[in-house]
A and B are shown apart, each in its own frame.
Chain A
Amino acid sequence: MTLKSSLARATAKSSYWVLRHILHRGGTSLPGKLAVAIDPDILKTIQQDFDLIIVTGTNGKTLTTALITRVLQAGGYEVITNPSGSNMIQGITGTLVTTKVKSSPNGKKPLAVLEVDEANVEKITNAIHPKMFVLTNIFRDQLDRYGEIYTTYDKIIAGIKNAPDALVLANGDSPIFTRGDFTNTRRYFGFNHINPTDFKPAVAPINTDGILSPTDHSVLHYDFITYANLGKYFSTTDQFARPELKYQVTSVDQLTPKYSQFSIDNTPLRIEIGGLYNIYNALTAFSVGREFGVTPAQIKKAFESNAQIFGRQEAINVDGKDVTIVLIKNPVGANSVIDMMLTETDEFSLLALLNANYADGIDTSWIWDAEFEKLHHTNIKAVATGGERYQDLRVRLKMAGFAEQAVYEDLTKIVAAIKALPTKKVYIAATYTAMLQLREQLKAAGYIKGGF
Chain B
Amino acid sequence: MANYDISVAHLYGNLMNTYGDYGNIIALTYYAKQIGVTVDYHLVSLNDHFDPETYNFVLFGGGQDYEETIVAHDLKTKAEQIKTYIENDGPLLAVCGGFQLLGHYMIMADGTKVDGIGVMDHYTTNMHDDKITILNGKRLTGNIVIKNNDTGETYHGFENHQGRTFLGKSERALGTVISGNGNNGLDKTEGVIYRNVYGSYFHGPIFTRNGNLAKRVLATALSKKYPNVNWSEKLSQIDTETF
Q: Which residues of A (202-240) have their CB < 8 Å from a CB of B?
A: 203-204, 206-207, 209, 211-212, 217-219
Contacts of B20 in A (CB 8 A): 207, 331, 365-369
Contacts of B26 in A (CB 8 A): 368, 399-400
Contacts of A365 in B (CB 8 A): 19-20, 23, 158, 203-205
Q: Which residues of B (64-86) have their CB < 8 Å from a CB of A?
A: 64-67, 70
Contacts of B13 in A (CB 8 A): 206
Given contacts A150-B66, A399-B208, contact A209 B18 (CB under 8 A): yes
A51: interface (CB < 8 Å) = no
Question: A207, B17: Cβ atoms under 8 Å?
Answer: yes
- With both beta carbons as reference points, the residue of chain A lying nearest to B143 in the complex is identified as A362
B22: interface (CB < 8 Å) = yes
Report Cα–Cα, A138/B14, bound state, in Å. 17
Report Cα–Cα, A148/B65, bound state, in Å. 8
Given contacts A148-B65, A204-B14, A206-B14, contact A368 B205 (CB under 8 A): yes
A392: interface (CB < 8 Å) = yes
Residue in B14, B19, B209 whose beta carbon sits within 8 Å of that of A203 in the complex: B14
Question: A364, B46: Cβ atoms under 8 Å?
Answer: no
Give min CB distance, B40 to chain A, whole Å.
15
Question: B160, A143: Cβ atoms under 8 Å?
Answer: yes
Report Cα–Cα, A395/B31, bound state, in Å. 12
Residue in B14, B17, B27, B46 whose beta carbon sits within 8 Å of that of A369 in the complex: B17
Question: A140, B160: Cβ atoms under 8 Å?
Answer: no
Report Cα–Cα, A219/B158, bound state, in Å. 29
Give min CB distance, A218 to chain B, whole Å.
7
Residue with the highest number of chain A CB atoms closer than 10 Å, among B14, B26, B30: B14
Give min CB distance, B121 to chain A, whole Å.
28
A165: interface (CB < 8 Å) = no
Q: Which residues of B (19-48) have their CB < 8 Å from a CB of A?
A: 19-23, 26-27, 30, 43, 45-46
B137: interface (CB < 8 Å) = no
Question: A206, B22: Cβ atoms under 8 Å?
Answer: yes
Contacts of B241 in A (CB 8 A): 395, 398-399
Question: B141, A140: Cβ atoms under 8 Å?
Answer: no
Q: Which residues of A (260-311) have their CB < 8 Å from a CB of B?
A: none
Given contacts A206-B43, A395-B208, A398-B241, contact A143 B18 (CB under 8 A): yes
A396: interface (CB < 8 Å) = yes
Residue in A219, A369, A395 whose beta carbon sits within 8 Å of that of B45 in the complex: A219
B15: interface (CB < 8 Å) = yes
Q: Which residues of B (102-161) have their CB < 8 Å from a CB of A?
A: 141-142, 158, 160
Contacts of A399 in B (CB 8 A): 26-27, 30, 208, 241
- With both beta carbons as reference points, the residue of chain B lying nearest to A145 in the complex is identified as B141
- With both beta carbons as reference points, the residue of chain A lying nearest to B208 in the complex is identified as A395
A346: interface (CB < 8 Å) = no
Q: What mask results when residues 123 to 164 of chain A are scored 1 for a CB within 8 Å of chain B, else 0?
A: 000000000000000001001100011100000000000000
Give min CB distance, B241 to chain A, whole Å.
5
A363: interface (CB < 8 Å) = yes
Give min CB distance, B217 to chain A, whole Å.
16
Report Cα–Cα, A105/B67, bound state, in Å. 50
B164: interface (CB < 8 Å) = no
Give min CB distance, A122 to chain B, whole Å.
18
Report Cα–Cα, A143/B67, bound state, in Å. 15
Contacts of B19 in A (CB 8 A): 143, 363, 365-366
Contacts of A150 in B (CB 8 A): 64-66
A6: interface (CB < 8 Å) = no
Give min CB distance, A154 to chain B, whole Å.
11
Question: B208, A212: Cβ atoms under 8 Å?
Answer: no
- With both beta carbons as reference points, the residue of chain B lying nearest to A389 in the complex is identified as B243
Report Cα–Cα, A253/B160, bound state, in Å. 43
Residue with the highest number of chain B CB atoms closer than 10 Å, among A149, A207, A368, A395: A368
- With both beta carbons as reference points, the residue of chain B lying nearest to A400 in the complex is identified as B26
Q: Which residues of A (158-206) have their CB < 8 Å from a CB of B?
A: 203-204, 206
Report Cα–Cα, A368/B65, bound state, in Å. 21
A441: interface (CB < 8 Å) = no
Given contacts A365-B19, A365-B204, A399-B27, contact A211 B158 (CB under 8 A): no
B215: interface (CB < 8 Å) = no
Give min CB distance, B57 to chain A, whole Å.
16
Question: A396, B208: Cβ atoms under 8 Å?
Answer: yes
- With both beta carbons as reference points, the residue of chain A lying nearest to B211 in the complex is identified as A395
Q: Which residues of A (347-386) have their CB < 8 Å from a CB of B?
A: 362-369
Contacts of A392 in B (CB 8 A): 209, 243
Question: B70, A212: Cβ atoms under 8 Å?
Answer: yes
Contacts of B17 in A (CB 8 A): 206-207, 369
Report Cα–Cα, A219/B16, bound state, in Å. 13
Given contacts A150-B64, A212-B70, A369-B22, contact A144 B160 (CB under 8 A): yes
Contacts of B142 in A (CB 8 A): 362
Report Cα–Cα, A368/B208, bound state, in Å. 9
Give min CB distance, B112 to chain A, whole Å.
14
Give min CB distance, A261 to chain B, whole Å.
34
Report Cα–Cα, A149/B18, bound state, in Å. 10
Report Cα–Cα, A396/B158, bound state, in Å. 16
A313: interface (CB < 8 Å) = no
Give min CB distance, B83 to chain A, whole Å.
25
Instruction: Beyond A206-B14, A368-B20, list 10 extra A-B contacts (CB 8 Å).
Output: A144-B141, A148-B18, A150-B65, A207-B22, A331-B20, A368-B208, A369-B17, A396-B208, A398-B30, A399-B208
By Cβ-Cβ distance, the 10 closest A-B pairs, closest first, are: A368-B23, A368-B20, A365-B20, A365-B203, A148-B64, A391-B243, A399-B30, A365-B19, A206-B13, A206-B14
CB pairs A–B below 8 angstroms (29 shown): A143-B18, A148-B18, A148-B65, A148-B66, A149-B64, A150-B66, A206-B17, A209-B18, A211-B14, A211-B15, A212-B66, A217-B70, A218-B46, A219-B14, A219-B46, A331-B20, A363-B141, A363-B158, A363-B203, A365-B158, A365-B204, A368-B22, A368-B26, A368-B208, A369-B22, A369-B23, A398-B241, A399-B27, A399-B208
